Amino acid sequence: ALTIGIVGLPNVGKSTMFNALTKNNVLAANYPFATIEPNIGVVPLPDPRLAGLAQIYDSKQILPATVSFVDIAGIVRGASEGEGLGNKFLASIREADAICQVVRAFHDDDVVHVDGKISPASDIETIHTELILADLQTLEKALPRIDKEVKGKKTDKAVLVAAQGAQQLLDAGTTLYAGAEAAGVDLTQIKELGLLTGKPFLYVFNVDEDQLTDEEFQSSMHALVTPADAIFLNAKLEMDVAELDDADALELLQSVGVEESGLNQLAHKGFRTLGLQTYLTAGPKETRAWTIHTGWTAPQAAGVIHTDFQKGFIKAEVISYDDLIKLRSVQEARAHGRARMEGKDYVMQDGDVVEFRFNV
């Protein structure tokens, strides 16, 4: 499964947030791998459509999609030089499919800031700098090799062009995620280098309670991190929310002016940052959300359930969630021409409720 690595300076609230994430974990029974690794948190992707379908089908259980977070400890200034847990840190981050940076914005004299002041902008820059330096080291090592391979016609010139373009951006202090597209640097050419700043980024600002509804503050933080997405939460509050039942949690959240827990927002935005979407299946046994990459075809989607479904794929009967909820049964959907038979080239859409037909 794809994972999102959580990084950030010490004392910004990473552990607090991560504990809230794993406490929220109502899934342990269905997803036993959730409890194997202490630094992995498997978070359900909230999806109210599942309850709607489960009602129609009288399903015994509901299985939401999940997002996995890895708590990557140990970044400090100098990590790229092997300071602190530097090397281990870089190896863990290399394995992650996206990077979630937690940034401190909350004020609390009892919680020491490593640099002595609260400054989201400079904290972000500190982490970026370490990742950029690590990428520059990777490129310095790789460039002579790529150059030789291109001269020997073993590698396409486009790879060298991309590597040099990446180096220029990084030299100028820009992360590849933020800068590559605008600069016309084709990162797909240098995928094998596993450059850290080329991964999708997502930012979590751990804020004071009054900042949760401060739009001016939030848009200034958004401006710091575009084109990446950002979430604003209070990690201590999230701990409390995670311990309450849904109704009490909502009441607590509303008391500070927000409608959805930060952790739910994190699950949604994390999922999107990874380039994932879901499709749905429903029956008396279970209603379930399945995770696929955006743009996948019906046979690829079928393969997530079972490889045999992909190999023997014939067609998919697809009803949109909205139609099914309106018409209340597959029979009614068919009668109204709202059940579509889709073939092997069909690209899955968000909210598709699917039954696959396949040869065994």
Residue 294 interacting with ligand GDP (CB under 6 A): no
Least distance CB 16 / ligand GDP (angstroms): 3
CA–CA distance, 143 with 88 (Å, rounded to integer): 24
Instruction: Tell me the two tokens of residue 228.
Output: 């990446």
Stretch touching ligand GDP by CB under 6 A, among 3-11, 78-86, 181-189, 334-342: 3-11
Report d(CA 136, CA 131) in Å as an integer: 9
Q: Under 8 Å CB-to-CB from 115, ≥6 apart: which residues?
A: 9, 122, 123, 126
Query: Measured from the CB of residue 121, what is the shortest distance to ligand GDP in angstroms?
Result: 18
The verdict on whether residue 15 carries a ligand-binding annotation is yes
- Smallest gap from residue 19 Cβ to ligand GDP (A): 8
CA atoms of 44 and 23, how far apart (whole Å): 12
- Indicate whether 22 belongs to the interface with ligand GDP (CB under 6 A): no
Residues 230-289 that bind ligand GDP (CB under 6 A): 234-236
14 is in an annotated binding site: yes
Residue 39 lies near ligand GDP (rule: CB under 6 A): no
Which of 6/193 has CB closer to ligand GDP?
6
In the complex, the smallest distance separating the C-beta of residue 84 from ligand GDP, rounded to whole angstroms, is: 12
Least Å distance, CB 263 to ligand GDP, is: 13
Q: Is 204 annotated as a binding residue?
A: no
Beta-ladder partners of 26:
none
**149 and 155 in contact (C-beta within 8 Å)?**
yes
How far apart are CB 200 and ligand GDP at their closest, in Å? 21
Distances (CA, A) of 169 to 150, 188, 198, 247, 298: 22, 16, 11, 48, 38
Whose Cβ is closer to ligand GDP: residue 172's or residue 256's? 256
Question: How many C-beta atoms lie closer than 10 Å to residue 133's C-beta?
Answer: 16
Which of 140, 181, 132 lies closest to 163 in space, CA to CA? 140
Shortest gap between Cβ of 229 and ligand GDP (angstroms)?
Answer: 20
**Contact track, ligand GDP, 178-207, x by CB under 6 A:** ----------------------------x-
- Between CA 214 and CA 292 the distance in angstroms is 35
- Which residue, 111 or 347, is less far from ligand GDP as judged by CB? 111
CB crowding 189-209: b at 16 or more within 10 Å, else e: bbeebebbbbbbbbbbbbbee
Q: Which of 2, 16, 23, 317 binds ligand GDP (CB under 6 A)?
A: 16
Residue whose token pair is 């709607």: 52
Distance from CA of residue 107 to its chain's centroid?
A: 27
Among 10, 52, 283, 312, binds ligand GDP (CB under 6 A): 10
Among positions 102-131, residues that touch ligand GDP (CB under 6 A) are 106, 108, 111
Residues belonging to the binding site are 11-16
> Which residues contact ligand GDP (rule: CB under 6 A)?
8, 10-16, 106, 108, 111, 206, 234-236
